[in-house]
Amino acid sequence: MTHPQTSVTAPAPIRHAMTVDVEDYYHVSAFANVIKPSQWGEWPTTVERNTQRLLDLFDEKQIKATFFVLGWVAERYTDLIRDIAARGHEIASHGYSHQLVYRQTPEEFRSETVRSKQLLEDIVQKPVIGYRAASYSITRDSLWALDILGELGFVWDSSIFPVYHDRYGIPDSPTAPYLAAVSGGRTLLEFPLTTAAVMGYRMPAAGGGYFRLYPYALSRGLFQRATANGTTPAIFYLHPWEIDPDQPRVPGASLLSRFRHYNNLDRCLSRLQALIDEFPFGTVSDSLRSFDLTNSKPVQLAAA
Ligand SMILES: [Zn+2]
């Protein structure tokens, strides 16, 4: 005779978050001095073909991801956004204008965030509950943005990189997902970009430019180290243009910006395939569901 299993619920298996910031090569902060927002429409587009390649890879590997869509892109490539959602992925907001949050006023931030959330919700006919700032620009100087996200009905955010960097970062903020206390007695689930502790330093282990810069063995080792306890989910990000060595070149950008942008574009896709083959990935919402925050106290981040 077989016995029914005891009713203890097993925790959901851990899933790391696979995320894509849906924007084109001419939107990046590194080229902001060379290409003005008013000129974006003059550059050849690559966002559709490269996002489609990522969608095909995710279908082939049978994983779902979260796509942070820039409002400017959503407005022009509505069919692409509809296709991402139809293929079962999560749609989140990457703001409208790709301007750094700490260079905006709270009023500017609020109005563009409302606009981009509405745009996406009109396209996918579903609430959009997740947000990521352009270039991780929620820092100690722009923590008011978290209050506004809470007010606008966002449930989670993934805009804080807990490292030192020339353009972003809150170096001593938590490294695992946490509840951030925001205004009005609300909380916002914060999923910080993944880092790995190496000899007391926090090394970025979340993808993007570092994933192209580091040898794959190092990226893999850092990702493994960041997730070694088996209970803390990690978050990985890339941009569609990062898998495209044939994208148009932008003249006039600084040597550092060009190096960061064009380095190892031809290696990114095969590295991504290897990472997906080794680690379990899902959407941000799947990933947060696999992580227990029920007994955690909201964290009050201190403004600058
Ligand atoms: Zn971006």
Ligand 1 centre distance from Cα of residue 8 (Å): 42
Per-residue pLDDT, 11: 62
Question: Are 94 and 72 within 8 A, CB to CB?
Answer: no
Q: How far apart are the CA of 23 and the centre of ligand 1, in A?
A: 6
Given this model, what pLDDT does residue 165 score? 83
Beta strand pairing call for 156-157 and 130-131: parallel
Distance 220 CA to ligand 1 centre (A): 23
Q: Report which residue type is found at 47.
A: V
Say how many Å lie between the CA of residue 181 and the centre of ligand 1.
25
Residue 161 CB-half CA count within 13 A: 22
pLDDT the model gives residue 270: 97
What is the 57 CA–ligand 1 centroid distance (Å)? 21
Instruction: List all residues 6 or more positions away from 229 whose beta carbon is below 8 Å from its beta carbon.
Output: none
Task: Report the separation in Å between the CA atom of 134 and the middle of ligand 1, taken as the mean of its atom positions.
Answer: 4
> How many A from CA of 141 to the centre of ligand 1?
19
Helix axis angle for 47-61 and 78-86, nearest 10°, is 0
Q: How far is the CA of 168 from the centre of ligand 1 (A)?
A: 12
Q: What is the phi-psi region of residue 24: left when phi exceeds 0, alpha when psi lies from -120 to 50, beta otherwise? A: beta
How far is the C-alpha of 162 from the C-alpha of 88, rounded, in Å?
Answer: 30
CA distance 174 to 195: 10
Tell me, what's the pLDDT at 85? Answer: 98
CA of 100 to the centre of ligand 1 (A): 10
Output the CA 209–ligand 1 centroid distance in Å. 12
User: What's the average pLDDT block by block, 10 residues per block, for the chain (304 residues)?
Assistant: 49 88 95 94 97 98 98 98 98 97 97 98 98 96 97 97 88 94 96 95 93 96 95 96 96 91 95 97 94 88 87
Distance 230 CA to ligand 1 centre (A): 29
Distance 70 CA to ligand 1 centre (A): 7
Q: How many CB atoms lie within 10 A of CB 274?
A: 13
Spatial distance between the Cα atoms of 223 and 206, rounded to a whole number of angstroms: 8
207-226: pLDDT as tens digits: 989 999 999 999 999 999 99
Residue (of 163, 177, 172, 156) closest to 231 by Cα position: 177
pTM assigned to the model: 0.94
User: Ligand 1 centre and the CA of 28: distance in Å?
Assistant: 6
Residue 8: per-residue pLDDT = 57
